[in-house]
Amino acid sequence: MANTLLMPKATAVWLVDNTALTFDQIAEFCNLHPLEVSAIADGEAAQGIKGMDPVMTGQLTREEIARGEADPNHKLKLSEPKVRVPETKRKGPRYTPLSKRQDRPNAILWLVRNHPELKDAQISRLVGTTKSTIEQIRNRTHWNSANLVPMDPVTLGLCSQIELDMEVSRAARYAPPQAPAGDTLLPASETENMPVEEGASRVPEEEEEKELDADAVFAKLSSLKSSRDEDEEDDDRR
């Protein structure tokens, strides 16, 4: 098993509550987004997840935390594991005890809402269910949809936090890049020849091409002045 941080969300919860590290430092160390760490600090994410001390598990030293608190630009380094734990591979579908099978729909609903990037096969591995059940809960056609309440499968004991984090990281690794959110301006080359929509106001071409002619203005002023001089001469003659 590679030198990888175990239970990153639980570790992030502990670091937020017990250290003065920045959100960026915690996010980079736990392989999370800074906004997700900010949501953890605000109590909007990772609800029900108990913080895990990385110092007690030997994944981080107190000296490394102190260096990070002193320097916001310092990147935390994962400690080398003292014991290598082999990765266990499970064969066949997960067995769920009879006493917990009634909680599986609630766990599926929680996974669908909080981790939409997970595939049906991954959800099936985590809680030991069928793809048809997952599809029914996604489409709200499950016979008990009105009474389902999203619940963390880790809290329910249907899977471990390590297994959940591994499936989430695996789904994020193969997820397509997200398109930029929000409206963006079209390039000028596309808008120059764009037809005007019906009902939209458009300035007439004559007014658009019409410009102030300086010579015509001065000529008009000169004619007004000359006519005014002639009127004054007529008054003097009278």
Under 8 Å between Cβ of 160 and 154: yes
Mean pLDDT, rounded, of the chain: 77
pLDDT grade for 27, boundaries at 50, 70 and 90: very high
Q: What is the Cα–Cα distance from 155 to 158, expressed in whole angstroms?
A: 8
Q: What is the 8-class DSSP label of residue 142?
A: S
114 vs 209, residue with greater confidence: 114
Q: How many Å apart are CA 25 and CA 74, to the nearest integer?
A: 8
Please state at what angle helix 120-127 crosses helix 131-138, rounded to 10 degrees: 110
Q: Which residue has the higher pLDDT, 32 or 90?
A: 32
The answer to whether residues 53 and 7 touch, using CB atoms and an 8 Å cutoff, is no
143-149 contacts: CB < 8 A, separation 24 or more?
Answer: 144/105, 148/105, 148/106, 148/109, 149/106, 149/109
Distance (Å, whole) CA 80 – CA 83: 9
Determine the pLDDT at residue 208.
46
Six token digits for residue 28: 């980079």
Sequence-distant (6+) residues with CB within 8 A of 6 are 52, 57, 59, 162, 165
The dihedral through the CA atoms of 107, 109, 115, 116 has a sign that is positive
In the DSSP assignment, the letter for residue 73 is T
Q: Which residues contact 129 (CB under 8 A, 6 or more apart)?
A: 104, 108, 123
Query: What mean pLDDT comes out for the span 80-100?
Result: 55
pLDDT in tens, 140-198: 999 888 899 999 998 888 888 898 998 988 888 776 665 555 555 565 556 666 555 55
**135 has pLDDT over 70:** yes
Question: Percentage of residues in the chain with pLDDT exceeding 90?
Answer: 29
Helix H or strand E segment including 166: helix 161-174
Give the mean model confidence (pLDDT) for residues 232-236: 60
Euclidean distance between CA atoms 217 and 203, whole angstroms = 24
